[in-house]
Amino acid sequence: MSVLNRRNAVFGWVAYQVGKRVIKQKAKQAVPAIDPESKRPNKSAIALAAAAVGALTFWKARSGSDDSPADPA
């Protein structure tokens, strides 16, 4: 009896499909949303946006070109 047979392949495919759905649902629940009462993003969404802007600013500053001329020695 082989380890990889049609029954195990179907079982793995079904487990993969169900797992994808569960992961998508958990990801949707974890994403910060807009507060329905105040129509403003909640505090975790604001913190996430601020962290993203800070990371992008840091990354851009670190990857900027060096405009100073080379020392002719």
Per-residue pLDDT for the chain (73 aa), expressed as one digit of tens each?
Answer: 678 899 999 999 999 999 999 999 998 887 766 666 777 777 777 788 889 999 999 888 777 655 555 555 5
The residue length of the chain stands at 73
- The pLDDT value recorded for residue 72 is 59
Whole-prediction pTM value?
0.43
Neighbouring residues of 44: CB distance < 8 A, sequence distance ≥ 6: 32
What the block records as the tokens of 52 is 């993203």
pLDDT in tens, 42-55: 777 778 888 999 99
- What pLDDT, on the 0 to 100 scale, is given for residue 66? 56
As to burial, measured by CB atoms within 10 angstroms (0-12 exposed, 13-18 middle, 19+ buried), residue 32 is middle
Domain boundaries, the chain: 1-30, 34-61
